[in-house]
């Protein structure tokens, strides 16, 4: 048996073009990929196989889960995936139907591990090697990034909080609030969102050098060196993750650590603090002791008091030697002459911050009030003997230089004489961070304290307070400036008091007296202690702040991340964040009728059919129109004058889902669809005029009304924002109401509602309504196409041009269908040895980027085509052509009556824009192949360049040879409109 393996996933060749991932572990069924050797290579090159394997965990999955020949990585479920789930005891999954990813602009800062941040778009080529910061509510953790997506240009909105935090996001991006995850579209000014005040430092790849080598341990015994080698500490390089943890520990030890006997290293602090350090000790391969507790008496300047001391130790001589070599001095710190480790200045700022921030956690005072609204200057001090004063000063000078590089100003180093210790006179050195608000915000938000949760919480309170204070000062500055201008123009000060709702003394000083420097906050603005008493900082450091405003910020290229952690959140700019089909219209025109008029035709179609991301449609989306479309589908459009009777007979389900339930579609979703009725949208959605170049099955082609050199029109689009919003609505509800089911799945993006539950029934009804809306959307575009052809060719589009619908079929859908499956002795769906017979069962057949392909004789095929089989329309790239197939005789047994839905992408949209230039693609298509393309932007053309797609001929060959979709005819583009 031939086997293949991709990233640890093994596939066995069952027969030609059929590859199986055997059932193992918690998989309910095996998984199968329907592909040739070359297509399998491309499918195995992304995350499709893992996603397909994960999908087999969905409750009630029967027979193998499938990936069609055009499969590629999706979100949760691969695009090109087909999964059949028992409709009685299984579930229905929006993630296995298909939905868009919520997105952020590329310059959004994402928090990464070790206090780094990086613009989202820069993670494209390295996301699998990174870990994002996840706020769980209880903890601030890091998580592997499993997915990076890019979605082209989309409308974004700028959200700003009362404390000045800003972020841009698409309207469907979700933000964490005290009431759960909420999309931007559902947020309003006055609502609260969670932000994390710590910002961190920009990521910079470290210089790769050896920090510790065997030469540094020449005098050590071989066993000690072997211990370090086994733990990856020898050699130790600047790029090792373990080195980052050591930087934190070394910084702490220079503050609150000491050495004892027999290789002991002692750590002192609060229990919370020590637990974090113990985690890092374990992560570098050593075992920390338990935390010890003892009461100690102290006498300072005649004041006696007792406190509880907490500590733990490590007893590894090898680890202690590493600390020594990294700069943690042996002997008394006051007289040892230690200074900054010599390797530190070769490290990027974020690595240096790991060292300094733990030192600050151990040695620096916490944020506290100096006066009501002003904070003390954070300071660190060192006591040194006179002989080692220079070393201490050098240490603080290096510290000050580091802080200056990251935008934090410090005071001059202070020096104080102290009492002579038992062996030598000493001096006290002190360095403070300047305490103006903006400087403190930078310090607490970029460096701050590590290994000291209490100080970290205080720092988060301080950042929020100081940001609020700055907002208030800026507000008063703006009032003062405007008041001065109005007074100069003749306004009376008494009128200004009422206008600005501010005290007259402030306005008088602003207008007449003048002031030096910035205004202070008013008396009504709270002091720090009052503010923090009313502020709740979550255990993960996040705080809830009020949304000040949300405004339209235009359209921008957008991206998103998917993390493996169950919380499925990440930090972006400090915020805690986390139906399609195709139809073909035939004509009685030939290619000769169109040749020479391509530009005229493409310009006219571009003018007639709205495209792109914005609103605007063919009809005015009144409430009655939207409700009619949702409930009655194409039947409503025909009655409204946007179609003909034969359109109903030539559409899947006659253009109306009888189980549609518009009442389960939210008002928000309907509002989004209202202005998009009859519009293409964007991305891979298009309208293409094509000519038939090849006919493979003449009898079937004749039944479909196709002949060589004939002109057809292919329309590929979906339910626009209405369907997207509906899917998001139900995903949120599923997460809240069926978290127990979700917890058992390997990927949260497979969120599902149990069959028979109220939520499953409501989602199924809402999805049916969205399918109706998508059919109406394509029907309205068809109407515009017919009208446009009639005008360009000066003929009646129906009587003269014969523009009849060939067929319309959905691509992203879950439908209740009856199929024959393996059953156990009691007639329940079963797999493997448990299956003793086969019987018909009602299933939810999920098709995500796959096409229903029912064979001849099936009662669900429209009567017009029942003798030859259902038409299957598979678009290719705009430079390689498309295909018309019919449902193959083997489709019901092999693929639940399904086949591919397109060529399948080979590369991301961003990669496409890097490799192709839209203008060049357009010119090459026109000059080389006489294909005329028009789009909203050159970037859209680049994203859909022929080179970004798989070989459509190979996809069709596999479908045809498997008998799941028999090729009937091939078409080739004449002109194309992209959104």
In whole angstroms, give the CA distance from residue 413 to residue 434: 12
Angstrom CA distances, 315 to 41, 287, 312, stand at 51, 8, 10
pLDDT band of residue 298 (cuts 50, 70, 90) is low
Say if residue 705 carries a ligand binding annotation.
Answer: no
In whole angstroms, give the CA distance from residue 651 to residue 121: 41
CATH number at residue 849: 3.90.1860.10
In whole angstroms, give the CA distance from residue 151 to residue 909: 7
Q: Based on the fold, state whether residues 562 and 585 are members of the same structural domain.
A: no
Let me know: does 21 contact 962? Beta carbons within 8 Å.
Answer: no
Least reliable range by pLDDT among 328-337, 775-784, 920-929, 950-959: 920-929
In whole angstroms, give the CA distance from residue 180 to residue 915: 40
- Write phi, then psi, for 711 (nearest 5 degrees): -100, 130
Angstrom CA distances, 33 to 133, 905, 958, stand at 35, 16, 11
Q: Based on the fold, state whether residues 820 and 899 are members of the same structural domain.
A: yes
The residues near 939 (Cβ < 8 Å, ≥ 6 apart) are 152, 153, 557, 913, 918
Q: Based on the fold, state whether residues 459 and 317 are members of the same structural domain.
A: no
As annotated, the active-site residues are 901
Let me know: does 827 contact 639? Beta carbons within 8 Å.
Answer: no
Burial class (CB in 10 A: 0-12, 13-18, 19+), 653: buried
Q: Based on the fold, state whether residues 284 and 430 are members of the same structural domain.
A: yes
The residues near 371 (Cβ < 8 Å, ≥ 6 apart) are none
* End-to-end Cα, the chain, rounded Å: 46
Tokens found for residue 502: 């501010």
Helix (H) or strand (E) holding 813: strand 813-823
Say if residue 871 carries a ligand binding annotation.
Answer: no
Angstrom CA distances, 376 to 401, 462, 629, stand at 21, 11, 64
In whole angstroms, give the CA distance from residue 126 to residue 133: 16
Tokens found for residue 364: 């620096």
* 943, part of any domain: no
Q: Based on the fold, state whether residues 170 and 307 are members of the same structural domain.
A: no
E-state strands within 106-214: 109-111, 116-119, 131-135, 140-161, 166-170, 174-177, 180-183, 192-195, 201-202, 210-212
For residue 226, the model assigns a pLDDT of 95
Taking alpha carbons only, the member of 168, 163, 172 closest to residue 194 is 163
pLDDT band of residue 404 (cuts 50, 70, 90) is very high
Let me know: does 557 contact 156? Beta carbons within 8 Å.
Answer: no
Half-sphere exposure of 31 (CA within 13 A, CB side): 26
Say if residue 901 carries a ligand binding annotation.
Answer: yes
Say if residue 59 carries a ligand binding annotation.
Answer: no
pLDDT band of residue 276 (cuts 50, 70, 90) is very high
Burial class (CB in 10 A: 0-12, 13-18, 19+), 124: middle
Angstrom CA distances, 410 to 329, 360, 428, 467, stand at 26, 14, 17, 20
Question: Tokens 């939520």 appear where?
Answer: 759
Least reliable range by pLDDT among 598-607, 664-673, 827-836: 827-836
Question: How many Cβ atoms from other residues are within 10 Å of residue 818's Cβ?
Answer: 12
Percent with pLDDT over 90 in the chain = 58
In whole angstroms, give the CA distance from residue 764 to residue 205: 49
**pLDDT beyond 80 at 837:** yes
Say if residue 123 carries a ligand binding annotation.
Answer: no
Q: Based on the fold, state whether residues 974 and 958 are members of the same structural domain.
A: yes
**pLDDT beyond 90 at 832:** no
pLDDT band of residue 483 (cuts 50, 70, 90) is confident
Count structural domains, the chain: 4
* 123, part of any domain: no
* 751, part of any domain: yes
SS3 (DSSP) at 447: coil
Mean pLDDT of 348-372: 95
Question: Tokens 């201008």 appear where?
Answer: 485
Say if residue 684 carries a ligand binding annotation.
Answer: yes
The residues near 700 (Cβ < 8 Å, ≥ 6 apart) are 868, 869, 886, 966, 968
Q: Based on the fold, state whether residues 563 and 414 are members of the same structural domain.
A: no
For residue 450, the model assigns a pLDDT of 96
Peptide linkage before 210 cis (omega within 30 of 0): no
* 46, part of any domain: no
Angstrom CA distances, 642 to 45, 662, 747, stand at 44, 21, 43
Least reliable range by pLDDT among 66-80, 307-321, 412-426, 655-669: 412-426
* 90, part of any domain: no
Q: What angle do CA 661, 664, 665 make, to 5 degrees?
A: 100
Q: Based on the fold, state whether residues 484 and 336 are members of the same structural domain.
A: no
Tokens found for residue 735: 């997460």
Q: Based on the fold, state whether residues 188 and 245 are members of the same structural domain.
A: no
Q: What is the DSSP letter of 509?
A: I
Question: Tokens 């079937």 appear where?
Answer: 700
- pLDDT tens-digit map of 19-51: 999 999 999 999 999 999 999 999 998 888 998
Domain final position from 415, 446, 477: 446
Mean pLDDT of 406-423: 85
For residue 100, the model assigns a pLDDT of 46
CATH number at residue 320: 3.10.28.10
**Concatenated DSSP letters for 731-774?**
HHHHHHH-HHHHHTSS-GGG--EETTSHHHHHHHHHHHHHHHHH
pLDDT band of residue 800 (cuts 50, 70, 90) is very high
* 10, part of any domain: no
**pLDDT beyond 90 at 915:** no
Q: Based on the fold, state whether residues 458 and 380 are members of the same structural domain.
A: no
pLDDT band of residue 341 (cuts 50, 70, 90) is very high
**pLDDT beyond 80 at 303:** no
In whole angstroms, give the CA distance from residue 709 to residue 141: 61
**Concatenated DSSP letters for 182-210?**
EEGGG--TT-EEEE-----EE--PPP--E
Say if residue 903 carries a ligand binding annotation.
Answer: yes
Percent with pLDDT over 70 in the chain = 91
pLDDT band of residue 340 (cuts 50, 70, 90) is very high
Say if residue 902 carries a ligand binding annotation.
Answer: yes
Domain final position from 395, 420, 446: 446
* 822, part of any domain: yes
Q: Based on the fold, state whether residues 391 and 461 are members of the same structural domain.
A: no
Domain final position from 431, 446, 461: 446
Let me know: does 561 contact 108? Beta carbons within 8 Å.
Answer: no
What range defines the domain where residue 385 resides? 210-446
**pLDDT beyond 50 at 578:** no
Greater model confidence, 381 or 616: 381
The residues near 252 (Cβ < 8 Å, ≥ 6 apart) are 267, 277, 358, 359, 361, 362, 450, 451
Give the strand pairing for 180-183 and 174-177: antiparallel
SS3 (DSSP) at 421: coil
How far from the centroid of its chain's Cα atoms is residue 231's Cα? 34
Alpha helices in 286-378 (DSSP H): 317-325, 333-336, 349-363
In whole angstroms, give the CA distance from residue 87 to residue 247: 56
Say if residue 513 carries a ligand binding annotation.
Answer: no
Say if residue 877 carries a ligand binding annotation.
Answer: yes
- pLDDT tens-digit map of 206-235: 999 999 999 999 999 999 999 999 999 999
Let me know: does 679 contact 936? Beta carbons within 8 Å.
Answer: no
Angstrom CA distances, 106 to 109, 655, 700, stand at 8, 40, 49
**pLDDT beyond 80 at 728:** no
Q: Based on the fold, state whether residues 557 and 508 are members of the same structural domain.
A: no
- Write phi, then psi, for 757 (nearest 5 degrees): -75, 160
pLDDT band of residue 173 (cuts 50, 70, 90) is confident
Say if residue 337 carries a ligand binding annotation.
Answer: no
Question: Tokens 């979906």 appear where?
Answer: 718
Mean pLDDT of 716-734: 77
Stated length of the chain: 979
* 566, part of any domain: yes
């Amino acid at each position: 048996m031939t086997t293949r393996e991709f990233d640890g996933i093994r596939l066995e060749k069952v027969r030609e073009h059929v590859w199986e991932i055997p059932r193992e572990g918690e998989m309910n069924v095996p998984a199968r990929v329907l592909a040739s050797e070359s297509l399998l290579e491309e499918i195995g090159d992304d995350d499709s196989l893992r996603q397909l394997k994960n999908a087999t965990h969905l409750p009630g999955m029967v027979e193998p889960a499938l990936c069609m020949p055009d499969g590629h990585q999706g979100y949760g479920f691969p695009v090109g995936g087909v999964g059949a789930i028992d409709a009685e005891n299984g579930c229905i999954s929006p993630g296995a139907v298909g939905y868009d990813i919520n997105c952020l602009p590329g310059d959004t800062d994402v928090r990464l591990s070790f206090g780094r941040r990086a613009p989202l778009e820069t993670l494209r080529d390295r996301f699998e090697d990174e870990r994002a910061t996840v706020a769980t509510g209880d903890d601030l953790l890091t998580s592997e990034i499993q997915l990076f997506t890019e979605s082209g240009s989309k409308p974004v909105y700028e959200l700003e909080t009362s404390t000045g935090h800003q972020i841009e996001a698409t309207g469907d991006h979700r933000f964490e609030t005290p009431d759960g995850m909420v999309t931007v579209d559902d947020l309003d000014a006055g609502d609260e969102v969670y932000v994390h005040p710590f910002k961190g430092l920009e990521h910079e790849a470290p210089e790769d050098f050896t920090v510790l080598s065997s030469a540094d341990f020449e005098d050590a015994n071989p066993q000690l060196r072997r211990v370090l080698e086994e733990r990856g500490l020898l050699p130790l390089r600047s790029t090792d993750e373990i080195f980052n943890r050591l930087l934190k520990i070394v910084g702490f030890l220079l503050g609150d650590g000491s050495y004892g006997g027999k290789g002991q290293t002692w750590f002192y602090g609060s229990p919370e603090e020590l637990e974090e350090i113990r985690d890092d000790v374990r992560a570098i391969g050593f075992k920390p002791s338990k935390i010890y507790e003892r009461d100690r008496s102290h006498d300072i300047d005649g004041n006696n008091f007792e406190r509880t001391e907490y500590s733990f130790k490590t007893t590894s001589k090898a680890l202690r030697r590493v600390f020594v070599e990294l700069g943690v001095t042996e002997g008394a710190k006051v007289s040892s002459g230690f200074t900054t480790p010599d390797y530190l200045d070769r490290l990027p700022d974020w690595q240096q911050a790991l060292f300094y921030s733990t030192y600050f956690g151990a040695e620096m005072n916490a944020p506290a009030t100096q006066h009501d609204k002003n904070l003390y200057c954070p300071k660190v001090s060192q006591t040194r003997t006179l002989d080692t004063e220079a070393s201490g000063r050098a240490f603080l000078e290096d510290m000050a230089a580091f802080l200056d590089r990251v935008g934090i100003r410090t005071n001059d180093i202070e020096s104080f004489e102290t009492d002579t210790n038992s062996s030598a006179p000493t001096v006290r050195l002190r360095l403070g961070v300047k305490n103006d608000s903006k400087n403190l915000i930078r310090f607490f938000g970029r460096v701050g304290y590590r290994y000291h949760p209490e100080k970290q919480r205080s720092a988060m309170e301080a950042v929020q307070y100081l940001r609020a204070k700055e907002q208030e000062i800026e507000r008063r500055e703006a009032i003062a400036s405007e008041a001065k201008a109005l007074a100069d123009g003749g306004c009376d000060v008494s009128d200004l008091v009422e206008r600005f709702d501010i005290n007259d003394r402030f306005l008088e000083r602003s207008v007449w007296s003048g002031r030096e420097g910035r205004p202070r906050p008013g008396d009504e603005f709270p002091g720090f202690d009052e503010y923090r008493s009313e502020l709740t900082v979550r255990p993960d450091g996040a705080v809830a702040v009020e949304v000040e405003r949300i405004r339209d910020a235009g359209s921008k290229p957008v991206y998103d991340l998917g993390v493996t952690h169950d919380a499925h959140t990440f930090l972006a700019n400090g915020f805690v964040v986390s139906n399609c089909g195709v139809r073909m219209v035939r004509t009685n025109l030939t290619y000769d009728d169109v040749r020479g008029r391509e530009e005229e035709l493409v310009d006219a179609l571009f003018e007639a059919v709205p495209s792109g991301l914005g609103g605007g449609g063919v009809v005015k989306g009144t409430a009655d129109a939207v409700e009619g479309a949702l409930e009655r589908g194409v039947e409503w459009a025909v009655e409204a004058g946007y179609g003909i009777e034969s359109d109903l007979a030539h559409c899947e389900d006659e253009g109306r889902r009888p189980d549609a339930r518009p009442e389960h579609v939210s008002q928000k979703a309907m509002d989004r669809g209202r202005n998009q009725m009859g519009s293409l949208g964007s991305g891979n959605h298009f309208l293409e005029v094509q000519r038939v170049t090849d006919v493979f099955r003449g009898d079937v082609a004749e039944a479909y009304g196709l002949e060589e050199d004939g002109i057809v029109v292919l329309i590929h689009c979906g339910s626009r924002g209405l369907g997207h919003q509906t899917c998001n609505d139900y995903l949120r509800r599923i997460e809240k109401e069926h978290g127990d089911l979700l917890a058992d799945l390997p990927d949260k993006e497979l969120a599902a509602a149990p069959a028979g539950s109220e939520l499953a029934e409501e989602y199924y009804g809402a999805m049916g309504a969205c399918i109706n809306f998508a059919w109406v959307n394509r029907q309205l575009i068809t109407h515009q196409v017919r009208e446009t052809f009639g005008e360009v060719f000066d003929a009646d589009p129906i009587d003269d041009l014969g523009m009849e619908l060939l067929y319309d079929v959905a691509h992203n859908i879950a439908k209740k269908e009856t199929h024959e499956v393996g059953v156990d002795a009691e007639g329940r769906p079963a797999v493997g040895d448990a299956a003793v017979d086969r019987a018909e069962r009602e299933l939810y057949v999920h098709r995500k980027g796959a096409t229903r392909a029912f064979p001849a004789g099936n009662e669900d095929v429209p009567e017009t085509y029942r003798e030859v089989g259902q038409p299957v329309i598979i678009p290719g790239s705009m430079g390689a052509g498309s295909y018309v197939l019919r449902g193959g005789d083997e489709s019901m047994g092999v693929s639940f009556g399904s086949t591919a839905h397109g060529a399948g992408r080979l590369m991301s949209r961003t990669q496409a824009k890097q490799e192709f230039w839209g203008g060049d693609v357009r010119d090459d298509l026109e000059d080389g192949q006489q294909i005329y393309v028009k789009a909203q932007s050159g970037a859209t053309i680049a994203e859909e360049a022929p080179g970004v797609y798989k070989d459509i001929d190979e996809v069709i060959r596999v479908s045809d040879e498997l008998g799941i979709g028999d090729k009937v005819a091939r078409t080739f583009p004449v002109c194309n409109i992209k959104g």
